[in-house]
Chains A and B, each alone.
Chain A
């Protein structure tokens, strides 16, 4: 909080983004009562969950991952690798961006508001499993971010890689039903099974609002475990190819 003015302005920017997101959302639902079988407040629930997930990733991981390629380029990664701590844990969680913390609470607020407007009462067990699936979504997003970050060892400059991250988050932003069209079938297959970005928000939201079979839920949990292990392996593999630039 040393630069309070800058911190408050960053929070203001996040609030403006939320305003734009809600205005976009309201504009769509002023033209149609539903989108891909999601009613207005169901969709608000989805948007809230997405906003909270984005806030979670930006608060804990994004800034650290963006700085990774600079550590590779300057050779300062050496100092991190020498410390007696797991490199992935330390490198991806060493800084917290407090200015994006409000996004997590604002997202949760939108979820809560949507539930009130839907007049839907769900059990504590459902909320518990929602949080478990939401955390699976966060781990999926983190795993993908880690894989992108690891490429920084070879590419050094990772400006374009952050654009790939933006594309990935773009895939999570909308319900997976919008991909139910023949020409989008390859996207649904690749990002629903191989790189399961489409599941990150859709499954937790569907779990609370719609009836989904138990296999879909298990699919998400298994995908998360597999994708996380894969990303961890890839991160360690990339570190083995790191050539220090400082010595």
Chain B
């Protein structure tokens, strides 16, 4: 356990080296939020309804803000592409000779990156949430308050094991970048990053998407916070999410074992 702790500490120091550039790009990422607020204000005003698919205007903006928090935990930039590159270039063979588990190494490295990311994001996110505080008129119930951080952790686990699985496919494909483009693009919509999945209630997609693992990457944590998931349903949703995390974990382990069997250590 101590070695994974040390890996985490090193990754944390590495991440904090470029905090200035990181802070600037994080602030810029929030600016499109302004156009989203203006667009949805125009939609609500034109529709002359106070609620659309159960979301008031304020709740919808709160949702779009909370999605930033969900993605803070579930997004794994570079994980799959770096893993596939390490497989292609032969770097991965160090895990075959060193007494360290590859998935264990990657997850401790990623946890450290997330801690650094979240700690350096507190200031810009604090400013964003502070300036938009008037949009928050719905808060979770006591049960929802307990389930919200758990849903974020589940989002992290699904995001990590799903991306790691895509990277492991590098044992079979020389280049996974194009596949990643397709998956990332689809995930942007399917996870509820763009709009709450509830707004698709008139589409047959709706009932399917709510049960997919992508929904845990952005939609569910925000929906739990805004009481869009009924208290009686909360535990079931979290269990399903954990089931998806376990599914991708097993998929990673199985495909890693199969991949290592056929691995030829090119680049040695």
> Which residues of A pack against B, CB within 8 Å?
5-6, 9-10, 12-13, 16-17, 20, 23-24, 27-28, 30-37, 157, 159-160, 163-164, 166-167, 170-171, 173-174, 177-179, 181, 184, 187
B238 close to A (CB within 8 Å): no
Q: Return the chain B residue nearest A28 by Cβ.
A: B43
Which B residues touch A5, using CB under 8 A?
A: 178
Q: Can you report 23 residue pairs joining A to B where beta carbons are below 8 Å apart?
A: A9-B181, A10-B181, A23-B189, A24-B189, A24-B195, A27-B203, A31-B43, A31-B52, A32-B46, A32-B47, A32-B49, A35-B46, A37-B46, A160-B24, A163-B29, A167-B32, A170-B32, A170-B35, A174-B39, A177-B42, A178-B41, A178-B42, A184-B34
Task: Tell me if B38 and A174 are in contact (CB < 8 A).
Answer: yes
- For B42, the chain A residues whose CB sits under 8 A away are 35-36, 177-178
Closest chain-B Cβ to A101's Cβ sits at a distance in Å of 17
Residue in A16, A24, A34, A163 whose beta carbon sits within 8 Å of that of B186 in the complex: A16
Q: How far is the CA of A157 from the CA of B49 in the complex (A)?
A: 47
Please tell me if B96 contacts chain A, counting CB pairs below 8 Å.
Answer: no
Chain B residues with Cβ below 8 Å from A171 are 35
State whether B43 touches A167 (Cβ < 8 A).
Answer: no
B50 interface residue per 8 A CB criterion:
no
The reply to whether B178 and A9 contact each other, CB–CB distance below 8 Å, is: yes
A13-B43 contact given A24-B195, A163-B29, CB 8 Å threshold: no
Q: Determine if A34 and B46 form an interchain contact, defined as CB atoms under 8 angstroms apart.
A: yes
**Given A24-B195, A31-B43, A32-B47: A13 touches B182 (CB 8 Å cut-off):** yes
**A27–B178 contact, CB under 8 A?**
no
Residue of B nearest to A26 (CB): B203
With contact pairs A6-B178, A160-B24 given, residues A27 and B46 touching in the complex (Cβ less than 8 Å): no
Contact residues in A for B47 (Cβ distance below 8 Å):
31-33
Which residues of A are found within 8 Å of B186, using beta-carbon distances?
A: 16
Kindly identify which residue among A30, A159, A177 contacts B21, using a CB–CB cutoff of 8 Å.
A159
Closest Cβ of chain A: how far from B123's Cβ, in Å? Answer: 17
- Distance in angstroms from B65 CB to nearest chain A CB is 17
Quote the shortest CB–CB distance from A159 to chain B (angstroms).
7
Q: What's the Cα separation between A157 and B25 when bound, in Å?
A: 12
Instruction: Report the Cα distance A20→B41, complex, angstroms.
Output: 21
Chain B residues contacting A160 (CB-CB under 8 Å) are: 21, 24-25, 28
In the complex where A27-B199, A159-B25 touch, is A20 in contact with B188 (Cβ < 8 A)? Answer: yes
* B-side contacts of A9, CB under 8 Å: 178-179, 181-182
Known pairs A10-B181, A166-B32, A184-B38 / 5 extra A-B pairs, C-beta < 8 Å? A5-B178, A33-B46, A160-B25, A179-B38, A181-B38
- Taking CB atoms, residues of chain A closer than 8 Å to B41 are 178, 181
In the complex, A6 Cα to B176 Cα: how many Å? 10
Question: Complex formed: what's the CA distance from A24 to B39 in Å?
Answer: 12
- In the assembly, what is the distance between CA of A164 and CA of B195, in Å? 23
**Within 8 Å of chain A (Cβ to Cβ): is B202?**
yes
Does B98 touch A at the CB level, under 8 Å?
A: no
Pick from B25, B53, B178, B181: contact of A163, CB under 8 Å: B25
Given the complex, which residues of B lie within 8 Å of A184, measured CB to CB?
34, 38
Question: Once bound together, how far apart are the Cα atoms of A118 and B44, in whole Å?
Answer: 23
Are B35 and A173 in contact, with the CB atoms below 8 A? yes
Measured in the bound complex, the distance between the Cα atoms of B187 and A13 in whole Å is 12
The 7 A-B pairs with the shortest beta carbon distances in the complex, nearest first, are: A32-B47, A9-B178, A36-B42, A178-B42, A178-B38, A163-B28, A32-B46
CB-CB nearest in chain B for A167: B31
What separation, in Å, do the CA atoms of A171 and B29 have in the docked complex? 13
Chain A residues, CB < 8 A from B39 = 35, 174, 178
Report the separation of the CA atoms of residues A31 and B45 in the bound assembly, to the nearest whole angstrom. 11
Per a CB cutoff under 8 Å, which of B21, B44, B182, B189 touches A157? B21
Which residues on B sit within 8 Å (CB–CB) of A35? 39, 42-43, 46
Contacts of A170 in B (CB 8 A): 31-32, 35
Considering the chains assembled together, what is the distance between the CA atoms of A32 and B49 in angstroms?
9
B-side contacts of A20, CB under 8 Å: 185, 188-189, 194
Instruction: State which of B175, B178, B199 has its C-beta within 8 Å of the C-beta of A31.
Output: B199
In the assembled complex, the Cα of A34 lies from the Cα of B179 at a distance in Å of 37
